[in-house]
Structure formats: structure tokens, C-alpha cells
Amino acid sequence: MTTNENDDRSARSAGILLHPTSLPGPYGIGDFGESAYAWIEALARAGQSWWQVLPLGPTGYGDSPYQLFSAFAGNTNLISPDNLVQEGLINRGQIEGVRLRPERVDYGAVVEFKRALLMEAWQGFKAGRAPFLRPQFETFCAEQAAWLDDFALFIALKDAQEGRSWQDWPEELVLRRPEALVRARRELEDVINHHRFAQFLFYRQWGSLKNYANARGIKLIGDIPIFVAGDSADVWANPRLFLLDERRRPKFVAGVPPDYFSATGQLWGNPLYNWSALKETRYAWWVARFRATLAQVDLVRLDHFRGFQAYWQIPAGMPTAEVGDWVEAPGADLLATLRAELGSLPIIAEDLGLITPEVYALRDQFGLPGMRILQFAFGGAAEDRFLPHNYIHHTVVYTGTHDNDTTLGWYAAITDRERRHLHEYVGCDHCRDVAWDLIRLAWASVADFALAPLQDVLSLGPEARMNTPGRAGGNWAWRFTSDMLEGQRLDRLGHLTRLYAR
């Protein structure tokens, strides 16, 4: 993804960050139904070019879209019940009267409701409902078999093992002994096919939504976390690609060392890649992962980009991230291989944190745009690179991200000195709506891409924060309601978008 600095800047564009779980609706969580299509229409009316989402995979512990049971599978909690009715897989009576919490995602209630509903859809499909879907389902299973078969077996076994992590399953399953897998596939055949069918429904509904968005001039930005969860089908099915011991437990885990954000660093706990083994396959797993993601979105934010140049390796069992080593990663070889296989690199490099010249060199070698966060320009550990007058064109600017507080929440927490700096920079004695002051700075900047979380467009406070890093629970639950889009805010955003030629 390269840019000629002498072009006519026609690449300037804008968009909104909103995860589908935050969409409105009666079923306890946003989904791919009517409200998603209405959201796309709202984006189009506001003149936006991009809808950015978080990872779309199946969430596990903590409900985080960055700790997934699979790097390939979809989150079936996002499947629309109304669409299942329209396709004839369930009856309207099975969802009439369902009214789960509208303003927050209650994951426990949602998981129970969606699990039962998808089982009803599977039973109906087996009984002959929606027969037009059968050839499509069979084609999907054949085309996606490389990841789908292992994932469906993994989830079926996890259900049978009462949700335990796969490292705590019987040894024959942990080590994937062939006879044990054959027996499990035979005994769990119907459950496995049910999970295949649920994935088919996810891919079908999301694919229709993406096609609709693209037809309305809206492109999608997705997200690839650099690491995968230890309790995932990816690690269980591909142990050689990770640094595991003979019991299939991590030898080392991921994180970042102490810095000005944390005196003990951040201990993420994900298993680290066996880059030598990946290189022997010409990074086939990574190529397949990118292909799968780019079938769902048009552009990818590559999380923790600095880890593709060098990553912090922490011995397993350490209580914090203080003890570890920087280990070089084959980022240039991986990206060159991806470019050769994919034909291009539609990637945004998430180059936040303590970044070295080597990381910038890797990013620039492949012409990838980096990220600039306006909150980081004025509050906390402020850095000059985040001030708009220091931007280059080939950059993506955000008011904040899913890990930041909303701009109103952030503004209330910064110091008086930081607030005065912001006022002076913006040119106001008192910012009446600081979220929109930052939106204007982003949209007016030279950055090719400008994005804001919907919470900032709506001028919401800290109650609407999506994630607080380091907090174990209570994250990823915010939702908006349809009435919040009423009024002039989207018209105002459309005006700024036209004013600044985005």
C-alpha cells in the first residue's frame, strides 16, 4: 500500500470506528441484521468512506476480540436472528418477545440465547428447512476445510470438556493422537457439523453486509492481532508453529517491557511464534490468515506492528513482564512473502508505543501508513509525532482508539497544563465540545485517512469507553441506541468531510 507524494491527494478519506457488537437492536448484542444495514446508510449519508471494526473472531475469556478461539473463524454471536427467520431456518415466534439489555452487552445472556437459537437453526436445516442453502453450505465446507475442520472439532471438544483449555484435556487429545481424533470426530459428528453450519451462517451474513457496504461506497477496515490466544484452535492444531514444550505449553509468552505506561510492563501471556518453522513453510499460515481476513474486509490494521521487527520474549511463568529479552523477528521476509502471495499489502501499521528506528524503517520499506492518535499529542506521555503539524500524508489519524477513553473522558482527566496546551493549539479559550475539536483537527490534517470512534462523534463520556487495558472484566460491552444518531451530528460530520476534501 504505497503512495506517491506528488499525487493529487485524491486518497483523502474519512470514517468511523465501531465494532458490530455496539450496534443497536433487541437481542442483547449488535448483529448483522437491519441495524447494520441502517448503520451503513448512515455512514453513506455522512459522506464517510470507511467503517473500521475490531477483530471479528469468536471471543473467549474476558470477551475480548483480541483473545480469540480462532484467527479464521467468525463470532457467531453476531449472527442476526431476524435474518435466520427471513431465510426460513427458524420461526418468528422463536424470537418474538426477546428483549435483552439494549445499552450494554450482557455476554452471559447473549451466549446462552444465541447458542440455543443456532442449534434450532441447525435442527431446522437438517429437517429440510432452507434447502437452497445446502449446496452453498457444502461448498463453504469444502473451500474452508483447511481451518474449518480443526476449528469445529476444537469447539466440539471444548464443549465436551466443559470449556476447559485444551492444554487441560486428556493427553491423547492434547497431543492430537490420530486414533483419538478419529474417535472424537465419529462421536461428535453432529456437534461438529453444527459448528460448521454456524460458521457458514456467519460468513454468509457478513459477506452480504460487506457487499452492501461496498456498493454504497463504504469500505471496511479490519484488524489482525499479531498474536493468537493460547487456548485456540490455531495453537492446538499447529503446535509446531509456536514455541511450546513437550506438553504443548508455552516456553515463552508475549508482552511488552516496563515503560512510562507501566512500571512492570504488560504481560499478555500469548504463546510466541516459532518463526523458523513458519519460514520453512514460506509463512503459509500467515498467508492463509491474511487471505481469510481480506475476504472479509478491504484494509487491515496490523496490531503491534513493532513485534514484526522485534518482540519481547518473557519466560513462561514470570509474574510480570519485567524479565525478558528483545528477539528479532523476520518481518521484512514475512511482508515480502505476503506481498508476493497477495499482490499488494493493504495494511495499516499500528506503530504505537515505544518505537525504534528499525520499526519505522520496516514500515517505510513496504510503504505502510502508520497511526497517529490525537489524544497522545496533548495528554499523558505526549509525543510531538502525534501533533498534526508533524504529520505526513501517508498516515492514519484517530482522535482515539478502542483502548483509549472517549475524548470527553480523556479531557476531564488531563492536567490543567495539558488542557491549556490543547486550548492554545486549537485556538479556543474554552473548548465547549473537545471531541469535535479533535475531530476537526483530524479531518483538517494532511493525513490521508482520518477516523474517529462513534463515541467521539456522539460526544459521549467515559461511560461509553470500549476497553480499559489491564482491567479483567467489564470491557467490550458498550452499545449505542438508534436515537443517538438523530439530530445534526452526522450532518455535521458530513459537512466537515466535504469541507476538508475527504
CA distance 370 to 390: 13
Note if 303 is an active site residue.
Answer: yes
Instruction: Tell whether 416 is covered by a domain.
Output: no
- Binning pLDDT at 50, 70 and 90, where does residue 10 land? low
Q: Is residue 254 within 8 Å of residue 312, measured between CB atoms? A: yes
Q: Is residue 220 within 8 Å of residue 282, measured between CB atoms? A: no
Q: Is 456 helix (H, G, I), strand (E, B) or coil?
A: helix
Q: In 343-395, where does DSSP find H-type helix?
A: 357-365, 375-378
- Binning pLDDT at 50, 70 and 90, where does residue 8 land? very low
User: Residue 100 pLDDT more than 90?
Assistant: no
Instruction: Tell whether 157 is covered by a domain.
Output: yes
Residue of 106, 341, 403, 433 marked active site: 403
Instruction: Tell whether 336 is covered by a domain.
Output: yes
Residue of 303, 405, 437, 456 marked active site: 303
Instruction: Tell whether 437 is covered by a domain.
Output: no
Identify the bridge partners of residue 301 per DSSP, sorted by sequence position.
223, 348
User: Residue 201 pLDDT more than 80?
Assistant: yes
Q: Which of 194, 38, 37, 55 is nearest to 114 (CA)?
A: 194
Identify the bridge partners of residue 13 per DSSP, sorted by sequence position.
449
Residue of 350, 437, 448, 456 marked active site: 350
CATH number, residue 468: 3.20.20.80
- Binning pLDDT at 50, 70 and 90, where does residue 4 land? very low
Instruction: Tell whether 99 is covered by a domain.
Output: yes
If one counts the domains in the chain, the total is: 1
- The DSSP line for 54-79 is ---S-B-GGG-TTSBS-SSS--GGGS
pLDDT in tens, 399-416: 999 999 999 999 999 999
Q: What integer pLDDT is reported at residue 1 of this predicted model?
A: 52
Instruction: Tell whether 239 is covered by a domain.
Output: yes
Domain housing 232: 13-369+448-499
CA distance 184 to 170: 12
pLDDT in tens, 237-285: 999 999 999 999 999 999 999 876 678 998 999 999 999 999 999 999 9
CB atoms within 10 A of CB 448: 21
